[in-house]
Amino acid sequence: MREVRDDAYGERFYEQALSCGQSLWLQGLPAQALLLFNRALGADLHGNEDVIKQWPLPYAAVAWVMMQRTDEQFIGNPRRHFQHLATRMVEPRKARRVSRAWACWYLACQVFPDYPADEKQIAEEGLEEPEREGIEVMLQRDGIEGEVEIWQRAFQLVWSK
């Protein structure tokens, strides 16, 4: 990722984050792969870039990594990870990145229905976890054109397992 430090979260950054995420997955490191896909989702892209057309937002990769990791591979608690990511986000592009974190959280909840939320945070902060429809509204409002459909295809993977 050092190679694209000067890219300011642009196209080169996005493509490199995806590539590094795939590399980490191939090395048997699903938790680290998810972190790189998170970084890719934070890229400053508008949806009309060639790299997005070639490599759509990595919601399917997030779902796939969570579904395909073995019990021996550390993944932590993706539900809690994405909950924290969504609720502790800062600028830049905060709204877009929050929406995407909740979208990944929803995927994690579907893949790992028995993994617990951070109930302490929910109680202390009065946090309300969004429903699927609410996430769709957030992605429609804050995301790029076609993002809701990209996300919906990802959870179709989960439901077809």
* Number of Cα atoms under 13 Å in the Cβ half of residue 160: 9
Q: What is the pTM of this model?
A: 0.95
State which residues form the domain around 26: 2-159
- Residue 120, amino acid: K
Residue 24 phi, psi (nearest 5):
-65, -40
Q: Is the pLDDT of residue 7 over 70?
A: no
User: How much is the average pLDDT of 47-58?
Assistant: 96
Q: Please identify which residue in the block is written with the tokens 């009309």.
A: 48
How confident is the model at residue 32, as a pLDDT?
97
- Specify the DSSP class assigned to residue 131: P
User: How much is the average pLDDT of 76-83?
Assistant: 98
How confident is the model at residue 161, as a pLDDT?
66
Residue 97 phi, psi (nearest 5):
-70, -35
How confident is the model at residue 6, as a pLDDT?
72
How confident is the model at residue 160, as a pLDDT?
77
- Can you list the positions of beta strands (E) in the chain? none
User: How much is the average pLDDT of 91-108?
Assistant: 97
Q: What is the mean pLDDT of the chain?
A: 94
User: How much is the average pLDDT of 100-115?
Assistant: 97
User: How much is the average pLDDT of 66-71?
Assistant: 96
Tell me which residue of 76, 80, 74 sits closest to 29, measured CA to CA.
74
120-153 pLDDT, tens digit each: 999 999 999 999 999 999 999 999 999 999 999 9
How many domains would you assign to the chain? Answer: 1
Q: Is the pLDDT of residue 55 over 80?
A: yes
Confidence of residue 1 (pLDDT cuts 50, 70, 90): low
pLDDT greater at residue 158 or residue 99: 99
Q: What percent of the chain has a predicted confidence (pLDDT) above 90?
A: 90
Tell me which residue of 57, 59, 38 sits closest to 49, measured CA to CA.
57
Q: Is the pLDDT of residue 94 over 70?
A: yes
